Chains A and B, each alone.
Chain A
Amino acid sequence: MSEEKQGKLDLNRHDMPKQSPEMRRHNFNEVALGYTQELAVAEAKRCLQCKKPKCRTGCPVEIDIPDFISYIVKGDFKSGIKKLKEKNCLPAVCGRVCPQESQCESQCILKNKGAEVAIGRLERFLADWEATQGEVDIPLKAARTGKKVAVVGSGPAGITVAGDLILLGHDVTIFEALHKAGGVLIYGIPEFRLPKAIVAREVEYVKKLGVNVITDYVVGKTRSIDELLKEFDAIFIGTGAGLPWFMNIPGENLNGVYSANEYLTRMNLMQGYRFPMSSTPIRKHAKVAVVGGGNVAMDSARTALRMGADEVRIIYRRSHSELPARAEESENAEEEGVIFNMLTLPVQYIGDENGWLREIECLKMELGEPDASGRPRPVEMPNSNFKMKMDAVVCAIGNSPNPLVPSTTPGLETTRHGTLVANPETGKTTRDRVWAGGDIVTGAATVILAMGAGRKAARSIHEFLTTGKQ
């Protein structure tokens, strides 16, 4: 590795070893392999230990980044992970799926030199190191308060709230609708990006802290929020954004047209890729188009490749530079052989006589003036229609919040986007003793933002439980 130095600055950002594209496109194992101890220490040494670390301000949960990095430099990984966990109870997850390039790392002073410290990789290193050390230390719990808290949803927001409140001495029960806890980390993000064993470990950890996790329980159906309020002193709603959007174009209900939620859930939660060993089937398609440009679209496209598709395309209505996916993910997809059809909009799906998708009709787009999101508006080019032969389409254009809880809870106010109205500082909803956070409040966002919201809500719930103030 070349040692590029400029003054005292080490500008050699260390790459993380990865499975080669040729190899990884045929397996579901994790793509990124993580730093070795040597690499981690070398990368940690590049941190300038700024007096006023800007990286911290880029972190939604304000991790003491230079502090934990300094422990890696000393080789004191145990203290490093402890420091990290003071602010982030899911470091193995965040180290993998956080968009560090637009958060902590974007603020790093070395970013100006194009060599920001790989904070995310270091975070991941510590979490993975801890996992190899056997039993995880259980922090000291406060004396029991006798107060009971129900957490609805076991995704990143719910796990954070539960983990925080159990340590403060409250009784915590998580209700999860699916049969496995973890929310989007389990059903949505594929094994090759976030191994399920890591999520399971985090769930086991909160269970070990004493959190009661009840799966197969649909709050809003099995019991309503009002019924739960009779038994629990406070409720946190973290039900996420799980209602898939479709484009409402002709042919969308043909066989072979999936929502990304369905496609990924079949693969991840239901282990469809092991079929027939697992009993949830997934069709093997030769040509798969994925509509959308976010991380979920990349996950779907890369899953299709691994299922043995010959041709996988990302169809996105803007251009490459507007892709909402993390650069790392779209690069991985491209390396693995996913074809990118940019500035393209599907307008119709065409099927055969048995109701199976055969072709998709698209329009070419060009970029116009910026729209409300600040990105250039995609404009249809007239008479640019063309068709592509496809066996499957995965629609990955986003999700809105699941209305199950809001629609069964009188007095719980929602916005016109279907998200819950909640105080951004506390997570307090319009209902007495009910808090909310994560995607159900913000609309589909990131794991770390959901955790940040969970942390704030836990603080506010704790205050209420101890002082009666909400």
Chain B
Amino acid sequence: MNRVIERTMIVPNMHLLTLEAPEIARKIQPGQFVIVRADDEGERIPLSVADWDIGKGTITIIFMEVGASTGVLAGLTAGDSVATCVGPLGNATTIGRFGTVMCVGGCYGIGSIYPVARELWYAGNEIIMVFEARSSYLIYWADRFVHRAAKIFTITRDGSLGMKGHITRLTDVIHALPKPPDRIIVNGCTYLMAHASEVTKNLGIPTVVNLNPIMIDGTGMCGVCRVTVGGTTKFACVDGPEFDGHEVDWKEFLARRKQYTNEETSYFRHSDPKPILHREGKCHS
């Protein structure tokens, strides 16, 4: 049982969840994740960790409400608790002095790339931050990157901020720089990571992605998170979650992520009303 310290919707559908987890806070490194189970009937879902506070003994997660399990998490309020929060799991991001590192974040990945960017900045790298979102109002935590990033770019689907278009415009971002970055790290949805990797592969820039497959235990036991990287099968939970974006079999990865889409929607059709479905929307608060 881990106590909820805070749960707020920071932009529509995107939630910040701070949990009491002193041992995890003490141990966690950028790039690692936790497995959370909202309640006793809950599914075990892997969530990237966006921040932590050793002094307060807390960790902060940014997650998007996409289905039943994240729906329950989105209904939590301070003082509630989650049944399970276990970690830190997976390997930490490789931190080194690479030179210029471009950090690309979209969706929940803006949160999870924040500690990565911070650590890389401490290690002496120049940070170029790229936000990707459908629209400007879905971007959060921009202030956190301001004093660490040498440059900040934004790509929005509707053009409400920065460049208009899809993540494929990353090419234009890279061309706008005096020289290409030495390394690119991408956190976010599968499409973002897959397409960004495609762009950077053509440009020959080393690219690291932080994969987010379905998991159960998160410790190498079930193998549901397997992913083909460079022609060999890896378990994202123990061999990753970070991999070379140019080597990931994205088609397979995407298909594996969608395995339970039917069941997830049937859950909404058949189950008893869940409190979450009756929760008042706070989108514009």
- The reply on B256 being an interface residue by CB < 8 A is yes
Interface stretch, picked from B113-121, B185-193, B196-204, B213-221, is: B213-221
Count chain A residues whose beta carbon lies closer than 8 angstroms to a beta carbon of B. 44
Interface stretch, picked from A81-89, A142-150, A248-256, A338-346, is: A248-256
Q: Are B256 and A178 interface neighbours, CB within 8 A?
A: no
Contact with B along A267-306 (1 / 0, CB 8 A): 0011100011111111100000000000000000000000
* Given known contacts A179-B37, A265-B221, A354 and B233 CB-to-CB distance under 8 angstroms: no
CB-contact partner of A276 in B72, B84, B85, B267, under 8 A? B267
Nearest CB in chain A to that of B71: its residue: A279
By a CB distance below 8 angstroms, the chain B residues around A246 are: 223, 226, 233
Scoring B72, B223, B228, B271 by chain A CB atoms within 10 A of each residue's CB, the highest score goes to B223
By a CB distance below 8 angstroms, the chain B residues around A355 are: 251-252, 255-256
Interface stretch, picked from A56-64, A205-213, A214-222, A318-326, is: A214-222
By a CB distance below 8 angstroms, the chain A residues around B72 are: 279
Q: Are A404 and B233 interface neighbours, CB within 8 A?
A: no
Scoring B24, B219, B226 by chain A CB atoms within 10 A of each residue's CB, the highest score goes to B219
Within B87-146, the residues touching A (CB, 8 Å) are 87-89
Q: Are B238 and A253 interface neighbours, CB within 8 A?
A: no
By a CB distance below 8 angstroms, the chain B residues around A280 are: 43-44, 216
CB-contact partner of A177 in B24, B69, B85, B219, under 8 A? B219
CB-contact partner of A281 in B42, B233, B238, B263, under 8 A? B263
- The reply on A426 being an interface residue by CB < 8 A is no
Secondary structure call for the A interface: loop
Q: Are A262 and B223 interface neighbours, CB within 8 A?
A: yes
- Smallest beta-carbon distance B51→chain A, Å: 18
Contact with B along A236-252 (1 / 0, CB 8 A): 00000011101010001
- The reply on A107 being an interface residue by CB < 8 A is no
By a CB distance below 8 angstroms, the chain A residues around B87 are: 218, 221-222
- Smallest beta-carbon distance B16→chain A, Å: 22
Q: Are A255 and B222 interface neighbours, CB within 8 A?
A: no
- The reply on A266 being an interface residue by CB < 8 A is yes
By a CB distance below 8 angstroms, the chain A residues around B255 are: 254-255, 354-356
Q: Are A270 and B216 interface neighbours, CB within 8 A?
A: yes
By a CB distance below 8 angstroms, the chain A residues around B158 are: none
The 5 closest A-B pairs by CB, nearest first: A355-B255, A281-B263, A262-B222, A259-B223, A216-B86
